[in-house]
Structure formats: structure tokens, C-alpha cells
Homo-oligomer: A and B are copies of this chain.
């Protein structure tokens, strides 16, 4: 059981979103942040680094947005849905953009294939959380 799940279990108040969907999103966000941080670095060490510039940039954005979104989603106290929902929208856009670019390199770079997968899973998990909040 992930720490996100354990901590949510012991939250002192109640919250009105499905706990399974919420923890799945938080875990996917943390996974995607880690994958994008590492993939940007893997790209930097490729001999043909000039071809990876777009991938590096989009992965840096995605790592930062996922970490911030994981933080906001982890805070249940006095949650403002107008903030969480618009941030989830931004995170979905970022995961899609980063996932598309990683996929273009997936056949030549195994690290981009792994990162594309993390981005797709995170995009899906954020969309499910957004649907559950509506």
C-alpha cells in the first residue's frame, strides 16, 4: 500500500471524492514526475542531444507540474475545487504533450518508451480524478 494511500486512510476529517481514485492519481503523479525528471536527464546524455531538446523541455515542464499537482491533490483540508480542477486540466495537457513527444522517440530510446508510458498512465489517472470530482 503506497504512502499516499496510508496517509489518506488516517486523514482526520472526511472528504468527498473516492479514496481509490484519489490515491491512484497521486501515485501516478509522483511516478510521472520521477519518470520525466529522469528521462530529461537521460536525453541530456544522448550523443544526439540536439534532437532531444523538445523532449527535455516538455519533460521538465511535466515533472514540475506533476509534483505540484500531487501536492495539491494530497491536501484535503479546505480544498478549493476551482483550483484543483483547473490544475488537473493543466496536468492532463502537460502529460499529453510530454507523452506524445516521448512516444516519437520510443523506438530509438528505451527511456523515452518508459516515460511515455508513465505520462499516459498519469493523464488517464488525472482524467478519472477530474471526472470523479465533477
Number of interface residues of A (CB under 8 A): 67
What are the residues of chain B within 8 A of A104 when measuring CB–CB?
Answer: none
Contact B114 A37 (CB under 8 A): no
Can you name the residue of chain B whose Cβ is closest to the Cβ of A66? B68
> Does any Cβ of B come within 8 Å of A7's Cβ?
yes
Q: A87-B94, A93-B86 are in contact. Are A60 and B34 (CB under 8 A)?
A: no
CB distance from A76 to the nearest CB of B (A): 6
What are the residues of chain B within 8 A of A115 when measuring CB–CB?
Answer: 7
Interchain CA distance A3-B120 in the complex, whole Å: 14
Q: A6-B114, A12-B45, A80-B93 are in contact. List 5 more A-B contacts (CB 8 A).
A: A37-B70, A38-B75, A61-B71, A83-B90, A87-B94
Which A residues contact B (CB, under 8 angstroms)?
A: 2-4, 6-13, 26, 30-35, 37-39, 41-42, 44-47, 49-50, 53-54, 56-58, 60-61, 63-65, 67-68, 70-72, 74-80, 82-83, 86-87, 89-90, 93-94, 96-97, 109-111, 114-115, 118
